Amino acid sequence: MKILVSNDDGIWAEGIRALTRTLAQDHEVYVCAPDRERSATGHSMSLHKPLMVSHAKTKEMLKLSQEAYMTSGTPADCVKIACGALYKQVKFDLVVSGINHGPNLGVDVLYSGTVSAAMEAMLLGIPSIACSLYSYSSKEFMDAASWIKDFIENNDLPNLIPPKSFININLPPGPRANYKGAEITKLGNRSYEENYEERQDPRGNKYFWLAGAPIEGLEVPGTDGFALLNHKVSITPVRFDMTYYDRVEILEKSLKL
């Protein structure tokens, strides 16, 4: 398969290197990723400044992939320019975003740069998956990458992922041998207890730093977070259409237009 790999942790992140190294064993892999961390950028794009692009000329990345570029833009920028300019001669079978260091569950999909790269591929008509590791400390990306490779090769994803949708995958931390299977899930109720820490710079100017932690105990069976808490891989189909169809007829009858 011809696979485009991107992420939001940046091209030097361990997760994307593990993913590229593993997929390149049996597939034609191309890379386009941000030149620095772009976490929580959502689906933003660079419209009012030039998008700088350069080769990722590390021996490792060039050895593993057919070609590798890094950009000054967001994950959505990376996929867009990769498919529209840098690799426009390549007909990609699949776009894989990740492996993100930290999960993307529930409402996270609205903010995640990892997810936005997969979503941009979806908008371009290319089957895609977003992959995240449910840990901020675990370094076992090779185990996660191995599972992803097998998942891709054991399933006909181009035909299983319908248009205007993609798959969001979250993997448990630790060795693959400890995974307790996989589960098709719904987006859960992940919420955060957030607060802004007020600080002061050396010149006396006030600034704020967003802090917070996930609120535990909200996940229920069948959701992505619940699967991970039980050490299962969570596989969630996600679609672009957010229309609240149940309300359309009610609003047509109720609103004065």
The answer to which of 44-48, 101-105, 122-126, 209-213 has the lowest mean pLDDT is: 209-213
Among candidates 30, 34, 33, 32, which has minimal Cα distance to 3?
30
Q: Kindly state the average pLDDT of the residues 59-72.
A: 75
In a domain, 200, yes or no: no
CA–CA dist 193, 229 (Å, integer): 19
In a domain, 209, yes or no: no
**What does the pLDDT read at residue 42?**
80
**What does the pLDDT read at residue 47?**
81
Mean pLDDT of the chain: 90
Give pTM, 2 decimals: 0.90
In a domain, 199, yes or no: no
Displacement of CA 48 from its chain's centroid (Å): 24
99 preceded by a cis bond (ω within 30 of 0):
yes
Counted domains in the chain: 1
**What does the pLDDT read at residue 232?**
97
Among candidates 168, 173, 118, which has minimal Cα distance to 141?
173
In a domain, 204, yes or no: no
Under the banding of pLDDT at 50, 70 and 90, the label for residue 215 is low
In a domain, 111, yes or no: yes
In a domain, 105, yes or no: yes
Residue of higher predicted confidence among 61 and 141: 141
CA dihedral 137, 169, 106, 222 (to 10 degrees): -110
Give the domain CATH number at 44.
3.40.1210.10
CA–CA dist 144, 166 (Å, integer): 19
223, pLDDT greater than 80: yes
SS3 helix, strand, coil % of the chain, rounded to 5? 30, 30, 40
Domain hosting residue 77, numbered range: 2-189+219-254
Under the banding of pLDDT at 50, 70 and 90, the label for residue 17 is very high
**What does the pLDDT read at residue 64?**
67
CA–CA dist 82, 11 (Å, integer): 14
Q: Kindly state the average pLDDT of the residues 185-206.
A: 82
57, pLDDT greater than 80: no
CB within 8 Å of 184: residues ≥ 6 apart = 235, 236, 237
In a domain, 171, yes or no: yes
The answer to which of 72-86, 133-147, 202-216, 230-244 has the lowest mean pLDDT is: 202-216
Q: Kindly state the average pLDDT of the residues 20-34.
A: 94
Q: Where are the alpha helices (DSSP H) in the chain?
A: 14-23, 59-64, 75-81, 108-111, 113-123, 141-154, 157-160, 224-229, 245-254
Q: What is the 3-state secondary structure (H, E, C) of 169-185?
A: EEECCCCHHHCCCEEEC
In a domain, 35, yes or no: yes
Q: Kindly state the average pLDDT of the residues 142-167.
A: 95
Under the banding of pLDDT at 50, 70 and 90, the label for residue 30 is very high
62, pLDDT greater than 60: no
